[in-house]
Amino acid sequence: MRLPNLNALRMFDASARHLNFRLAAAELNVTQGAVAQQIRGLETDLGEKLFDRLPRGLSLTEAGTRLHPPIARAMALIQDATA
Orientation angle between helical segments 32-46 and 6-18, nearest 10 degrees: 110
Instruction: For 9-20, write each residue's pLDDT tens digit.
Output: 999 999 999 999
Instruction: For 13-68, write each residue's pLDDT tens digit.
Output: 999 999 999 999 999 999 999 999 999 999 999 999 999 999 988 999 999 999 99
H or E segment and range at residue 77: helix 62-82
Dihedral sign, Cα of residue 69, residue 51, residue 42, residue 62: positive
CA angle 6, 53, 43 (to 5 degrees): 30
pTM: 0.93
What's at 69, amino acid-wise? P
Label residues 69-78 b or e (16+ Cβ within 10 Å = b). Answer: eebeeebeee
